[in-house]
Structure 1
Amino acid sequence: MTRSLALPATRRTALAMLAAATMALTACSAATSGGTDSSNGEVVVAGTYPIDSIDPDGPQGGGTGPQMAEQQIFSRLVRTKPDGSLEGDLATSWKPDSTATQWTLTLRQGVKFSDGKTLTSADVVDSFKRFIDLKGTNAANFPGYTMTATSDNEVVLKASKPDAAVPRKLAVFFVLPAGVAPNDTAFFEHPVGTGPFKLEKFSPNEIALVPNPNYYGGAPKVKRVTIRKMPELASRLTALRTGEVDVAWGIPDDQLSQVESDSNLTVKTIQSSAVFTMWFNSSTPALRNAQVRRALWEAVDFPTIIKQLYPQTGSLSDSVVSPQTLGYVAQQPVKYDPAAAKAALTAAGFDFNTKLRLQFANAEFRQFNQAVVSDLEKIGVHVDLLEKEQAVFTKDLLALNWDINFQQLSNPMLDAANTIGRLYPCAAKRNGYCNPQLDKLLSEAGASSDEQERVKLYGEATQIIWQDAVGMFPMAVKYAYAWNKRLAGFSPDPNGLPDFSHLQVRS
């Protein structure tokens, strides 16, 4: 019988101490060398905007919050990169015919859905039909357009008129499996997509995403990404500083210096595609006159409001769209002149007993809108400030149940076709404004395949919108992002729609 020899107690203790020291040194070395933890890495994102739906074709699907989640679960044919350029997602090429009325898109081969089924052109065509039939906010970019499959890996999009903006427009079209019915709520409880993540949990306050092992680009190297609903700014910043969340953005100027001083955080401010947009409801009797709308714009001291509230993340806008948008043409900023504004309102017969309704959503915009209301009150214009839940806000927006509507309007396509071309024609019925001359310019801009000609035409359209004060366009927005230094692979996005597929967690 063989008996093992026990080590003396003192030697056992010494070896244990040596092993512990070696393990500690190894761990320390791994941490300082910037290694990544792909097995247990969990990332928490502070969601600024509510995610009430992940149906990209539904009435809520076009919002910033839903799109952020949708792009993680579903893929698009093409997508915009942070620098504003286009890259293929499910499509590897897109080519127009000589008139830009027909676009042929070649699909990436070997793409699988998260349930293992192979993507084909039938899925793309059926998704496009559902997208058009449900008439969501982004479907208005494709009036009368159809899509057909010419092979398993090729589709053809036919436009009702020449449209050079088709590739950028497709950046807001998400592909689902064929057969998802218009009101198939059960599908979106356990959605199947070709994006980098799968849905693990969806509640009103939290969405949890886990890597999709079938993703064509390779499964993300994190264990889980959780998007937590945090509409209140104070909660987001506290959670960021304590490490409860890893990523947050929309950080206001008065908090930026404090966030930048935190050695655990990386902070970066970038120009966004967003413009503060305050439409007037031109169908409201009190606001039908362009002279009245222009005078209300003159009555608000936007330069001072921006300087006080957004000295680092805002600048006085000179267009309906942001500077990096195709179709941007600078206009002459409206000068603040309250005396002239009141005189113009009086001359136009404005009834100062009228009470206007200014609606907005999200608490972060409360102070800005309060300042606008205060300036209008100074010249005797009375305004009810209505802060609404996102779903109510959207419903009332589309029903024109407001007199002044505030939105931070971004443009994920970075093309004026998505904002000026989609929101301002008479047929859009988005703000009560209708101008046949504007419709003609927008039609010509959408039909032109000459990029310089498109910019010229959108510039002329912008001038009409600006001069007629269809709305007030006070501020071009920058986004301030902050993220924990333990994260690698995070890139700020100009649309507030960051991609989480490249994230890694440093050990």
Structure 2
Amino acid sequence: MVTRLRRRASALAVVVAAFALAACSTTTGGGSGSGGAGDGELTVAGTYPIESLDPHALSGGSTGTQLADKAIFSRLLATDPDGKVVGDLATGWGPGADASEWRFTLRPGVTFSDGSPLTAQDVVDSFTRMMTVNGPNAANFTGATMTASSDTEVVLKAPKPDASIPGKLTLFYVIPSGVAPGDTAFFDKPAGSGPFTVTRFVPGEVLELARNEKFSGKPAAMDKVVIRTIPELAARLTALRTGEADVVWGIPDDQLPGLRGDTSLTIETVPSTALFTMWFNSSVPALSDAAVRRAIWQAVDFRTIIEQLYPETGEPADSPVAPAVLGHVAQPPVAYDPAAARAALQAAGFDFGRKLRLQFANAEFRPFVQAVVSDLAEIGVQVEPLEKEQAVFTQDLVALNWDINFQQLTTPTFDAGSNLGRLYPCAARRTGYCNPELDSLLAAAGAATDQAQRVAAYGRASEIIWRDAVGMYPMTAGIAYAWNRGLAGFRPDPSGLPDFATVTAAGA
């Protein structure tokens, strides 16, 4: 890898002894010297496992899959690091009169990594497959259809006007026609049109990528990218310090000062679209009253918790979506007042003898959840924190098998339509909360092609969500990245999905 020759040989012994990385192959920086688009190997220490490469079957634990698919496949549209929608396979796009129909002109000359041409039919069949598989992204296009109007144009028709279609399509990946919904063998070594191809994939452990020599865009700079899943924080950081990994992100605040003392590393924290979100299950009788939900929110000193746990990467939230998202409109802060909170609960007849179930996944959020539980205990509200495996968490989330649900929700489309518009209508059945007025506002926001009108409608929708405490919205989260100074061209991504195609060895 890039930095191996810059580190002492003894460092490798340390990392092997610390984590028993015997299964990790030894690599050498500098590449093959083939004189191609670039040389060298990049190794990434990933937080979340890559269990599947199927972009249409993304589950609740899809972060790893999205990271991989961004490197392997192309999309009609993408977002740049600033959140602007840009073309990928599409060179032009636009709505019809009311934004219920969208036309996309395709870039000519694109091929898959097996040499076969990427056609309009591949785009259409990929959309149909995504809807058939019915993963989370399919919910963004309920009732929509796509057809090929020519060899170079596809048309998406939605059942109602939807101005957020371009943003939603940044999560839609194109694969070759003929891949059945249940076909898992294709994704062992899939043919894609992205900058990299798959050379080895062990689900949950490692993904090895090679430069796609048939990529129609600018070739990837590195010969090889290896994404290893190292869930343990200490193991990831040691791998970074010793040169076993070149890039790590999602670093807790308390680890940043120590990393900044290492002159071989670059550290940068970037704002993201991620928001700590704690939904209340409004279908549970104990939480059906908005006054109860607001009182529970008022009983937690989120500002102090953030200052203690996330002094660099956390900011108190002021909306159900992050400031970087189109549709963000600031709401008034919820003041911490435990005495008033307890009085409000008593007035509402809250049952202090009932224990609320707070579900979450991923150990990194355990300190935050425990701090919330502690604050609520101070006013007599009993909460049982339930840390679940991702698959169980997702199943229980959809089944509403919880009282309070904690998630770090991101909006990778940078558009509130794929967050507020998808998760909060009555038909979504995500929180047990239903409000026809909110539904109308969300529908109006989705239909408006004028950006100012959309933002205004989402602002009014956010006001209702905030006022009725559909959830608690404590914190917008930044993402802390660390990478070796031996790299050039690496840019931290606000969605936690960095692009590795532009990375080179410094001086290469």
TM-score (normalised: structure 2): 0.91
Q: Provide the residue aligned with 2:421 in structure 1.
A: 421
In 2, Cα distance between the equivalents of 1:100 and 1:398? 30
Moved more, 147-156 or 157-166: 157-166
**SS class of match (2:160):** coil
| Paired residues for 1:453-492 under 5 Å | 453-492=453-492
Moved more, 52-61 or 405-414: 52-61
**SS class of match (2:334):** coil
List runs of 5+ in structure 1 lacking aligned partners: 1-30
Kept in 1: contact 2:38–2:504 (CA 8 A): no
**SS class of match (2:494):** coil
Summarize the Cα distance change of 1:416–1:138 in structure 2 as closer, same or farther, 3 Å threshold. same
| Paired residues for 1:292-371 under 5 Å | 292-371=292-371
Letter in 2 for 1:409: L
Letter in 1 for 2:232: E
| Paired residues for 1:404-415 under 5 Å | 404-415=404-415
In 1, Cα distance between the equivalents of 2:432 and 2:362? 24
Letter in 2 for 1:223: D
| Paired residues for 1:46-85 under 5 Å | 46-60=45-59, 63-85=62-84
Moved more, 89-98 or 47-56: 47-56
- What displacement does 1:223 show? 2.1
- 2:90 is the counterpart of 1:88: no
Kept in 1: contact 2:280–2:405 (CA 8 A): yes
In 2, Cα distance between the equivalents of 1:351 and 1:193? 55
**SS class of match (2:64):** helix
Q: Provide the residue aligned with 1:234 in structure 2.
A: 234
- What displacement does 1:187 show? 1.1
Deviation string 1:18-55 (CA, Å, 9 cap, x unpaired) is xxxxxxxxxxxxx9xxxx99765111111112222221
**SS class of match (1:272):** strand
In 2, Cα distance between the equivalents of 1:61 and 1:72? 20
- What displacement does 1:277 show? 0.5
- 2:282 is the counterpart of 1:282: yes
In 2, Cα distance between the equivalents of 1:503 and 1:404? 41
Deviation string 1:52-97 (CA, Å, 9 cap, x unpaired) is 2221111427722211111111110010000111211111110212
- What displacement does 1:221 show? 2.1
Letter in 1 for 2:458: Y
Kept in 2: contact 1:81–1:87 (CA 8 A): yes
Kept in 2: contact 1:231–1:362 (CA 8 A): no
| Paired residues for 1:159-198 under 5 Å | 159-198=158-197
In 2, Cα distance between the equivalents of 1:296 and 1:231? 32
- What displacement does 1:218 show? 3.5
In 2, Cα distance between the equivalents of 1:481 and 1:267? 6
Summarize the Cα distance change of 1:99–1:425 in structure 2 as closer, same or farther, 3 Å threshold. same
TM-score (normalised: structure 1): 0.91
Letter in 2 for 1:155: V
In 2, Cα distance between the equivalents of 1:436 and 1:334? 24
In 1, Cα distance between the equivalents of 2:359 and 2:430? 14
Moved more, 39-48 or 422-431: 39-48
- What displacement does 1:505 show? 2.0
Kept in 2: contact 1:271–1:477 (CA 8 A): yes
- What displacement does 1:463 show? 0.5
| Paired residues for 1:96-135 under 5 Å | 96-135=95-134
Letter in 1 for 2:449: S
Summarize the Cα distance change of 1:59–1:285 in structure 2 as closer, same or farther, 3 Å threshold. farther
In 1, Cα distance between the equivalents of 2:396 and 2:199? 32
In 1, Cα distance between the equivalents of 2:262 and 2:46? 21
Letter in 1 for 2:165: V
In 2, Cα distance between the equivalents of 1:61 and 1:86? 24
Identity of aligned residues (%): 62
Kept in 2: contact 1:38–1:222 (CA 8 A): yes
Summarize the Cα distance change of 1:405–1:148 in structure 2 as closer, same or farther, 3 Å threshold. same
Q: Provide the residue aligned with 1:260 in structure 2.
A: 260
Deviation string 1:443-494 (CA, Å, 9 cap, x unpaired) is 1111111111110100000011001111000001111111111111111111
Moved more, 437-446 or 355-364: 355-364
**SS class of match (2:373):** helix
**SS class of match (2:472):** strand
In 2, Cα distance between the equivalents of 1:244 and 1:284? 48
In 1, Cα distance between the equivalents of 2:181 and 2:285? 37
| Paired residues for 1:430-445 under 5 Å | 430-445=430-445
Deviation string 1:178-228 (CA, Å, 9 cap, x unpaired) is 111111111111211111111122222111111111111143121211111
Q: Give runs of ≥4 in structure 1 deviating > 6 Å.
A: 36-39
**SS class of match (1:268):** strand
Letter in 1 for 2:69: E
Letter in 2 for 1:315: E
In 2, Cα distance between the equivalents of 1:443 and 1:143? 13
In 1, Cα distance between the equivalents of 2:442 and 2:99? 16
Letter in 1 for 2:503: L
In 2, Cα distance between the equivalents of 1:335 and 1:113? 54
In 2, Cα distance between the equivalents of 1:301 and 1:349? 23
Letter in 1 for 2:108: Q
Letter in 2 for 1:271: P
Larger radius of gyration: 1
Summarize the Cα distance change of 1:410–1:489 in structure 2 as closer, same or farther, 3 Å threshold. same
**What RMSD, in angstroms, separates the aligned Cα atoms of the two structures?**
1.5
**SS class of match (2:210):** strand
Summarize the Cα distance change of 1:38–1:234 in structure 2 as closer, same or farther, 3 Å threshold. farther
- 2:212 is the counterpart of 1:212: yes
Letter in 1 for 2:49: P
**SS class of match (1:133):** helix
Summarize the Cα distance change of 1:325–1:219 in structure 2 as closer, same or farther, 3 Å threshold. same
| Paired residues for 1:239-254 under 5 Å | 239-254=239-254
Letter in 2 for 1:56: P
